[in-house]
Amino acid sequence: RTYLSQKSAYPYQMFLNWPKKFKETDGNILFNDLKFLRLLYAANNDRFQAGEYVVDAKEETKQEIYDFLNKSTNTAIFVDCENVDPYSFGATILNLDDKELSKIKKIVLYDDVNTSIAWDYITNIVNIPVIKKDVERLLDSKSLVDITMTAGICEEYYKNNMESIILASSDSDFWGVIKQLPSARFLVLNEFKKTSQAIIEQLDKYKIPHCFMSYFAQDKIQQFKSDVLYLGLIKRIKHFNETGEFGTLDVIKLIQELFYDAGIVGADSQIEKEKESFYNKYLKDGFVIKPVSIEGKLVFKIELYKK
């Protein structure tokens, strides 16, 4: 009787003993992973808030990028590292077809001292040549990334005939360079939460293709996040071994600083789980501190404890 009364919620010949009655409007609970997880969490008086880990961009979105590349001769991606989440960018690249991506000549990163350390390691996960430009500040309060990247795009267009430009940024300031290069072909990779409606309307008005990187599934980027956190910890250990300074000895604060340096953000519950996982894997068993002889002096060095 239970099955027959709710059979419209299940695919043919499938049944789950669910802790909650369905509404007629719920429809097929196994329509996709996101719907299933949202209903499952709700049935247990909770809310699923990590849709980016299970839902990938629509095929139409990917096809729009492929169509842009197929009509291009020389293509490069220019990334505003100040205004782009490295993991959203990485997830976008990892969820696209390698054969199509091989048409991109290079990725040029314009980085600032205040961005995520993940940009230092992005070459570990992409198969496209990467050029990283560290943009120094003249004034501590003023970034020069925007103007330097604008000049770089113009140079690539006029000097190297880079006629197709993929611009990764949600910053409306780059509308200026799009307008000043009317003969260039542009595709914009932006992020939903960072992009103003005004710039979206302008892109649509001038028929400039754009897509949200935050719509690409994050599952393939999780190992990269772990690697960036690990490399951040190793960097601190190396700094201690060279200078004797480790920074904070407060474990919770250390984890917070590592996550901040890595630029990892997300739903609070998800971040707390990731912090707990990182603690259990690398910090729970402590470090190995041992004396080492260097140039006749005996000094302490730290190593990660290896199980």
Residue 51 is predicted with a pLDDT of: 52
What tokens does 17 get? 């003993």
What is the C-alpha to C-alpha distance for residues 185 and 229, in angstroms, rounded to an integer? Answer: 37
> Between helices 86-94 and 222-243, what is the axis angle to 10°?
130
* 132, 109 contact by CB (below 8 A): yes
Q: What is the three-class DSSP state of 212? A: strand
The model's pLDDT over 12-34, given as tens digits with 9 standing for 90+, comes to: 555 556 555 555 455 555 555 55
pTM score, whole prediction: 0.77
Backbone φ and ψ of 300, nearest 5°: -80, 140
- Residue 262 has a pLDDT of 95
228-275 tens-digit pLDDT: 999 999 999 999 999 988 889 899 999 999 999 999 988 888 899 999
Q: Is 281 in a helix, a strand, or coil?
A: helix
User: If you average pLDDT over each of 137-146, 155-164, 298-307, which comes out highest?
Assistant: 155-164
Higher pLDDT, residue 2 or 274: 274
Does the structure show a pLDDT above 60 at 56?
A: no
- pLDDT higher than 90, residue 37: no
Answer for the pair 83, 73: CB distance below 8 angstroms, yes or no: no
Tokens coding 42: 């709700």
